[in-house]
Chain A
Amino acid sequence: MEKAILYDSSKCTACRGCQVACKSWNEHEAEETTSQGSYENPEELSPETWVKMRFIETERNGKFAWLFARRACMHCTDASCSIVCPTGAILKTDEGFVHIDQEWCIGCGNCVQACPFDVPHKDHHHTGTAMKCTGCTSTGLNRQDAGMAPACVTTCPTGALKFGNRDELIEEANQRVADLKARGMSNANLYGKDELGGLHVMYILDDTVEAYGLPEDPQVASSTVIPKWLTGVATAGVIAALPLWFVFKRKQELEARTKGGA
């Protein structure tokens, strides 16, 4: 039965309980950071930081607005990371959560390059493997298996994070989007219902997808891989046909003819 995390940006107060609870449950170290002139720290996801909050200062119908966006794995149905992974180290649970097997990943970095949301990061210093939010399904720390909600959802004070049956959450989210629209947030929308075959981390946004810096219509990294193979092979053909054919085959015939004709 597919499950999902539902993030409601209109309820989030950026308390960053999720960022800390994830590190506490998954036993990750803190990173060295310095203030870069915003509340956001650490700057980027990393093998130690699987979820962080983004702070976006913007204007919304004439009034100042401060948007808070969760940044972590979206647990895509069509997961580019698992598709491109050459060792099959990226597995999917029955509930739809994507999990990098730390005892099988060879750290080739392909998933890092392929994820539409720039989520996985390679642990250059310790294990060498790629790491990202596992939806709290890491081996030995599998909350979902033990019937518990992920650590970030459990700690969230305002109900901005919920975990449960994906379809039920979609229903609840649609209702919430309607409420937000009624409250004057005309741009409210649900992100993740259909993107990439349906994400297992869906966002209720109280502003446009673009305002939240999310890809409008994310594509699986290898969606156009066949034509790319073909252009490559075709070029080989062109090269074979034109210069090589011209230089070797035709020259061969000319020589034969002149030898014959002379």
Chain B
Amino acid sequence: MSLGEMSWNWQLWIDMWAAGMAGGAYLVAFLANKFSGGKYTSLFRTAVLTGVPLAIIGVFFLIIDLGTPIWAWHLFVKFLPVSVMSMGTWTLFAWLIISFVMIILWIVEWDANRNCDKYSAGVVNFVKKFDGLLAWGGFIFAILLMTYTGVLLASTTQALWSSTLLLPSLFVSSATATGVAILIVMTMILNKINEGRGSGWTFSEDLIGKLSKSLMGVIIVEAVVLIAYAVWLALAGDAGNEAFKILVSGDLAIVFWALVVGLGMVIPLALLFLTKGRNALMVITTSSACVLLGGLALRAVITIGGQL
């Protein structure tokens, strides 16, 4: 089947990549914040503020790729648990609602700090507690958001996608990797913007160091999952083996090895490893950028490969 005839094209790569990244950033920032006893709330807020536009961009591309975009609202007339895409759409919707509400709460909190008597103590207290609750809600939906794209492709008849159970985990690991990468990039950008202006929105080198270490860790997990995925695929009957060959030695082999594996994993891992300890910001940023590109390449290779 030639590219033109595929029913899932580049718009879907971008949607899966962006939504995955948004979910990944949320997950990483949320856990970083939780594991460090609330030290990195600004990181968490950055993750949400980055994730929301990314998710919206993802949905936008998905909608314009629909056969009848003006009827996209039909997705929200029914809640169909049996349809992965329906589940995915509602998950995305829920995650966005939660994020918006949190952002509004943060604005209220920010406003309260500026003129402390504007809100009663009860309100402020309620905002803090509700914010914490929403964060957990957002966390659960973030995980579903990262997973749904993998499950969507996996519940079809295309061998590359459905012959193993690991596509969701491959997409989740890729989402997390791109999540960390985007966080690093955002922290760099914010630090640069707020350098002289002394507003609270900057990030310590220590945090960036931890993020880069996390990135190394997640890339390793992603590599492990990819290897497991490839092996399982190769052993999953003729169809699976056929799909494996397309990926590894077929038409998409160059893109797979160069961009997905090389650019997306090996180079960033090597860069980070070589510069361990010394927080070489430039190296960290480039490796993050590589991870981002690699993540997009992975979505493209998998989507095309499944339909060849």
Contact = CB atoms under 8 A, between A and B. Distances in A.
Q: A and B: real partners? A: yes
Interface of A: 80, 83-89, 104-110, 112-116, 118, 121-124, 127-130, 221-222, 224-225, 227-229, 231-236, 238-240, 242-249, 251-252
A228 B154 contact: yes
A88 B8 contact: no
B210 A251 contact: yes
B67 A122 contact: yes
Contacts of A252: 35-37, 39
Contacts of A109: 7-8, 67
Name A's interface SS.
helix
Contacts of B255: none
Interface string B244-266: 00000000000000000000000
A257 B85 CA distance: 47
Contacts of B306: 113
B7 A247 contact: no
Contacts of A106: 66-69, 71-72, 74-75
A222 B74 CA distance: 21
A105 B157 contact: no
Interface in B137-160: 143-144, 146-147, 150-158
- Top 9 nearest A-B pairs (CB, nearest first) are A107-B67, A243-B217, A128-B67, A232-B168, A232-B147, A109-B7, A235-B169, A248-B35, A86-B85
Contact-residue bracket for chain B: 35 or more
Q: Which of B83, B165, B172, B218 has the most CB of A within 10 A?
A: B83
A220 to B, nearest CB: 9
Contact of A112 (B7, B78, B165, B171): B7
Contacts of B88: 86
B31 A240 contact: yes
B197 to A, nearest CB: 28
13 contacts: A86-B88, A87-B71, A87-B77, A87-B78, A106-B74, A228-B150, A232-B169, A238-B221, A244-B218, A245-B35, A248-B31, A252-B36, A252-B37
Contacts of A87: 71, 74-75, 77-78, 86
A228 B156 CA distance: 12
B242 to A, nearest CB: 15
Contact of B84 (A225, A242, A248): A225
Contact of B165 (A89, A113, A222, A228): A228
Interface in B199-229: 210, 213-214, 216-218, 220-221, 225
B68 A228 contact: no
A244 B28 contact: yes
Nearest to A222: B155
B217 A85 contact: no
Given A240-B31, A252-B37, A85 B165 contact: no
B32 interface: yes
